[in-house]
Amino acid sequence: MDEFAPVEETYKIAPEIGPLGHTEFLEGIHLEPAPIEMSGVCKSYEEGRQALADISLRIEKGKFVYLLGPNGAGKTTLFRLLYAAEGLTRGELRVNGYELHRLKNRQVPHLRRSLGIVFQDLKLIPRWTVFENVSFALRVLGRKKREIAEKASQALQKVGLNGKGHFTPDRLSAGEQQRAAIARAIVNEPALLLADEPTGNIDVRTAEDIVRLFEEINRGGTTVLFGTHDEGLAAFLPKERVVLEQGRIVESTLDPALPGPTAA
Amino acid sequence: MGFYFRQAGQNLVQNFGMNALTLGTITFAFLIFGLFGIVAHNARALMEEWGGRIRVTAYLADSVPAEGANRLREQIGALEEVQAVSFRSKEEALKTLEGKLAIRTGLLKGLSRNPLPASFEIQLKPPFRDKEGVDRLAAKLKGISEIADLQYGAEWIERFSAFLVLLQVLGAGMSALLLLTTFLIVAHMIRLNIFSRREEIEVMRAVGATSFFIRAPFYLEGIFQGLAGAGLAWAGLYGLYQLFLIQVYDPLKVLLGNFPLRFLPWEYSAGFIVGGVLLGILGTRVAAGRYAGV
């Protein structure tokens, strides 16, 4: 068994009232794992601060979901759990089929290769050109030079930066830098795109353009989790939403999470 | 693989100042270590040569006839400690003395007879070229009645040997301390180098780079610096050796019996290369653990 492969499980739902309001018994049905499944996830720190409490949600493939909440609500902590930058204190968390509550260190790179991540502070490498920043994700995967060139160019075109690949980040505007970071996140065509406050440092007009860009990416089949504190932005382009406050979900338009898997 | 080398090359150029300092530190340390090595190597060689000059001279009684001298020579040659025996007759001894006296040979003209005895010059085997070996042989020779007198002495060799051992121990100790200090400095500089690139490393980790992918360029940098430092030190040592040889040693070597000053043997030179590579690898290993791991 390839220990780096995501886990696929057969869900068995006991004969009780299910989420659709009637008795269901779906033993033996193989359900494709959702990109994100969380059950009772908690995150506490040593000093006793609880950043997340009892988070349960399931984001289906192809969804565009806003993760809303004020600063300090726990959005960034949740993102960091999703790409295994931090470990959870309690609960179960599955991302693209990887069980993060049991993930070994050597599996983390493989998890991250299945994701696209747009950081709040962009994390573009200043001494590299935009093209080098974008293509780096493919170099890490060991792709051939021709493929790297092709896909990086496509990604830059998609975000509207074709012709600027040879610039270093300092020569781009804030919005263009944001687009470069998005291009890097999508260049390896990930199934799931995580964006933590991608519009935090730009003006409203540019932010709206960025949201539209994410929508376009989502229309291509990529699941998007878009973190923002800006309710206005979420209202500009309404989508599914999960609202965090003091580490708890206070509002969600998602279907309630299905019960976790039991032994087949 | 080419990517790792390119990254390492870019990193070396980008942090040129810090890398130059690291390289200089490694070069200096290996230079000092090499100097101790050359001194130790030559001192040992000198000891071996001087050890080879240890002789026991056995003077024969005047009454010993020629046939007796031959039989005695075979007897002494058969002893365990003896490598070679050469006989010098009374006449040869007188000739040698005349040669040494040079313009003062007139002093010998008044002699009515040759007062010099015949003698055996006895050379010892290498394992016995010390005070203990000499004393052992002397005790055996003293038991031979035809031998009137013995001349030998290994105390000076013992003292010099002890001095050399002390020098080697001090040299090894100081070299070890120096290398340890260099290792710590190099590891610290590599850590600073890695720290200055922590954002890059974070991005690499975020896009799914493995530990090996992140660390490989740093290891290559470390190996290059270790190799380059050791190589520069070796070249510097050779240059100093040639300079010293020509300017200082050659005019004075007669004082050391024309002993040929040697450069590092090939094993030491190979050790330089291996040492440089190891220093680079270990220094990176220690420095990289905190920042480059997943």
A1-114+190-264 under CATH 3.40.109.10, yes or no: no
Q: Determine contact: A143 vs chain B, CB below 8 A.
A: no
Higher pLDDT, A263 or A74: A74
Whole-number pLDDT of residue A201: 76
Is B202's CB within 8 Å of A136's CB? no
DSSP letter, residue A30:
B
Whole-number pLDDT of residue B286: 84
Q: Say which of B3, B199, B209 has its CB closest to residue A109.
A: B209
Low-confidence winner among A10-19, B181-190, B256-265 (lowest mean pLDDT):
A10-19
For all residues of chain A together, what is the average pLDDT? 85
> In angstroms, what separates the C-alpha of A12 from chain B's closest C-alpha?
33
Whole-number pLDDT of residue A191: 92
- Whether B85 shows a pLDDT value over 60: the answer reads yes
Sheet holding B55-60, edge to edge: B82-88, B119-124, B55-60, B147-151
Higher pLDDT, B105 or A105: A105
Q: According to the 3-state scheme, what is the secondary structure of chain B?
A: CHHHHHHHHHHHHHCHHHHHHHHHHHHHHHHHHHHHHHHHHHHHHHHHHHHHCCEEEEEECCCCCHHHHHHHHHHHHCCCCEEEEEEECHHHHHHHHHHHHHHHHHHHCCCCCCCCCCEEEEEECHHHCCHHHHHHHHHHHHCCCCEEEEECCCHHHHHHHHHHHHHHHHHHHHHHHHHHHHHHHHHHHHHHHHHHCHHHHHHHHHCCCCHHHHHHHHHHHHHHHHHHHHHHHHHHHHHHHHHHHHHHHHHHHHHHCCCCCCCCCHHHHHHHHHHHHHHHHHHHHHHHHHHCCC
A48 alpha carbon, distance to own chain's centre: 27
- Whether B157 shows a pLDDT value over 70: the answer reads no
pLDDT interval class at A3 (50, 70, 90): low
Rounded CA-CA distance B106/B266 in Å is 54
Rounded CA-CA distance B168/B183 in Å is 22
Whole-number pLDDT of residue B264: 86
Q: Determine contact: A117 vs chain B, CB below 8 A.
A: yes
Q: Determine contact: B213 vs chain A, CB below 8 A.
A: yes
Q: Which of B281, B144, B135, B293 is nearest to B213 (CA)?
A: B293
Whole-number pLDDT of residue B32: 86
pLDDT interval class at B239 (50, 70, 90): very high
- Whether A262 shows a pLDDT value over 70: the answer reads no
Number of A/B CB contacts below 8 angstroms equals 45
Both structure tokens of A46: 């040593």
- Whether A25 shows a pLDDT value over 90: the answer reads no
Q: Determine contact: B196 vs chain A, CB below 8 A.
A: no
Phi-psi region of A247 (alpha: psi -120 to 50; beta: other; left: phi over 0): left
> In angstroms, what separates the C-alpha of A39 from chain B's closest C-alpha?
24
Q: Hey, which of A221-225, A257-261, B182-186 has the most confident mean pLDDT?
A: A221-225
Looking at chain A, the whole-number percentage of residues with pLDDT higher than 70 is 84
Q: Determine contact: A139 vs chain B, CB below 8 A.
A: yes
Whole-number pLDDT of residue A86: 92
Whole-number pLDDT of residue A5: 56
Q: Determine contact: A73 vs chain B, CB below 8 A.
A: no
Whole-number pLDDT of residue B105: 61
Is A110's CB within 8 Å of B208's CB? yes
Q: Determine contact: B105 vs chain A, CB below 8 A.
A: no
Both structure tokens of A159: 């975000």
Global ipTM: 0.75
Whole-number pLDDT of residue A13: 39
Do residues A80 and A88 touch, judged by C-beta distance below 8 A? Answer: no
Looking at chain B, the whole-number percentage of residues with pLDDT higher than 70 is 91
Q: Determine contact: A5 vs chain B, CB below 8 A.
A: no
B55-153 under CATH 2.60.40.10, yes or no: no
Q: Hey, which of A24-38, B19-33, B106-120, B225-239 has the most confident mean pLDDT?
A: B225-239
Neighbours of B216 (CB within 10 A): 19
Whole-number pLDDT of residue B244: 85
For all residues of chain B together, what is the average pLDDT? 82
Q: Determine contact: A140 vs chain B, CB below 8 A.
A: yes
Looking at chain B, the whole-number percentage of residues with pLDDT higher than 90 is 6
Is A112's CB within 8 Å of B207's CB? yes
Both structure tokens of B112: 């009515």
Is A109's CB within 8 Å of B204's CB? no
Residues B30-74 have pLDDT tens digits of 888 888 888 888 887 877 777 777 788 888 888 777 778 888 888
Whole-number pLDDT of residue A66: 96
| A123: closest chain B residue by CA | B203
Whole-number pLDDT of residue B279: 87
Higher pLDDT, B247 or A170: A170
Q: Which residues of A touch B206 (CB under 8 A)?
A: 83, 85, 112, 117, 119, 123
Could you tell me the residue ranges of all domains in chain B? 2-50+158-291, 55-153
Q: Say which of B202, B208, B294 has its CB closest to residue A140.
A: B208
Residues A82-127 have pLDDT tens digits of 999 999 999 999 999 999 999 898 899 999 999 999 998 888 988 8
> In angstroms, what separates the C-alpha of B174 from chain A's closest C-alpha?
42
Whole-number pLDDT of residue A12: 40
Q: Which residues of A touch B204 (CB under 8 A)?
A: 136, 140
Strands A36-44 and A50-59: antiparallel
Low-confidence winner among A63-77, A171-185, B267-281 (lowest mean pLDDT):
B267-281
Q: Which residues of B touch A96 (CB under 8 A)?
A: none
Neighbours of B172 (CB within 10 A): 14
- Rounded mean pLDDT of B239-251? 83
Whole-number pLDDT of residue B40: 81
Q: Say which of B3, B200, B209 has its CB closest to residue A125.
A: B200
Could you tell me the residue ranges of all domains in chain A? 1-114+190-264, 124-185
Residues A124-166 have pLDDT tens digits of 988 889 999 999 888 888 888 899 999 999 999 999 998 999 9
Is B209's CB within 8 Å of A140's CB? yes
> In angstroms, what separates the C-alpha of B293 from chain A's closest C-alpha?
10
pLDDT interval class at B154 (50, 70, 90): low
- Rounded mean pLDDT of B78-106? 82
Is A140's CB within 8 Å of B294's CB? no
Rounded CA-CA distance B83/B86 in Å is 10
Whole-number pLDDT of residue A28: 42
Rounded CA-CA distance B11/A227 in Å is 35
Rounded CA-CA distance A134/A2 in Å is 29
Is B3's CB within 8 Å of A139's CB? yes
Q: Determine contact: A113 vs chain B, CB below 8 A.
A: yes
Indicate the SS3 state at residue A65: strand
Both structure tokens of A137: 């994700």
Higher pLDDT, B294 or B226: B226
Low-confidence winner among A9-13, A49-53, A127-131, B61-65 (lowest mean pLDDT):
A9-13
Do residues A226 and A247 touch, judged by C-beta distance below 8 A? Answer: no
